[in-house]
Amino acid sequence: MITLYGMYRSRATRNIWALMELGLPWTLKPVIQAYRLEAQGIDPVHPEAPFNTRSPEFLKLSPAGAIPVMEDGGLVLSESLAINLYLARKAGGPLAPKDPREEALMEQWALYGATAIEEAALEISFAYARGEAATETGEARIIAACARLGRPFKALETHLAAHSHMVGGRFTVADINMAEMVRYAQPHAALLAAYPRLKSWLDLCQSRPAFREMWETRAAEPA
C-alpha cells in the first residue's frame, strides 16, 4: 500500500488528486508543517508536539524536512512532481505516458512548471491567503509576480491553442502537475482572464470529480 506523508493544505494535493484519478490503494499519514505549529505557539521539536516536518521520525524519511513524501514497497520518494510521474507509470493507463516520447514531454512540462511558473504563482497565492492583496505591498508583489508569469503563461496559451491537453491529446498526469502549479495564480482573476485558453483548460481540469473530491476535503482541513 502506498503511504503519502503530508497534509491536504500542501503540495500533497497534486499527489492526492493523482491517486484518486489512478485508483491506486493508498493511505495518508498526516504530517503538519512545522511553521504552522510555530504560528500556534507550539514548539515543533517538543516531544509532545504533533507529528510534523521537524519530527525526528519524519526527518529520517525526508532529511529536507518537507512534505509530501511517498513510501511504496521500500521506495521513499520526495518532490511532488516526481511522485506523480512515478504513480502514473506504476498505474499505467491513459494518465501515464504511452511511450518514451510522451514520458519526455511529461518530464519537460513538469520541469518547466517548477522552474518558470510555481514560484511566481505562489507569490500571488500567498498574497491573497494572507489578506495582503489589497495592501500597497501586496499589490506590488502581485504585479511583479504577474510580470514574471507573462512569458510562461503565453507559452502555455500558445501550446493549448494547438493542443487540448499538455501531452497526448488527453488528460494525463502532466495536466495534474501543471494545473496544480497554475492554480496558485488563480485568485488573481484578471491574470488568467488574459489567457482564455489557459483558463478554459484549467477549468476543464478542475471540473473532474477527483479534483472536486480532493478540493472539498482540503477545504475542510484546518488552515
Please report whether residue 220 resides in a domain: no
Mean model confidence pLDDT for the chain: 97
Residues 30 and 105 occupy one common structural domain: no
The residue among 94, 121, 150 that closes a domain is: 94
Please report whether residue 219 resides in a domain: no
- The answer, yes or no, to whether residue 223 has pLDDT greater than 90, is no
Please report whether residue 32 resides in a domain: yes
Please report whether residue 52 resides in a domain: yes
Q: Which domain holds residue 133?
A: 100-211
pLDDT tens, residue by residue, 90-107? 999 999 999 999 999 999
pLDDT tens, residue by residue, 118-171? 999 999 999 999 999 999 999 999 999 999 999 999 999 999 999 999 999 999
Residues 61 and 133 occupy one common structural domain: no
- The domain that contains 17 carries what CATH number? 3.40.30.10
Please report whether residue 37 resides in a domain: yes
Residues 84 and 111 occupy one common structural domain: no
pLDDT tens, residue by residue, 165-181? 999 999 999 999 999 99
Share of the chain above pLDDT 70, in %: 100
pLDDT score recorded for residue 109: 98
- The domain that contains 162 carries what CATH number? 1.20.1050.10
- pTM, two decimals, is 0.96
Contact present, 118 and 181 (Cβ < 8 Å): yes
pLDDT tens, residue by residue, 68-90? 999 999 999 999 999 999 999 99
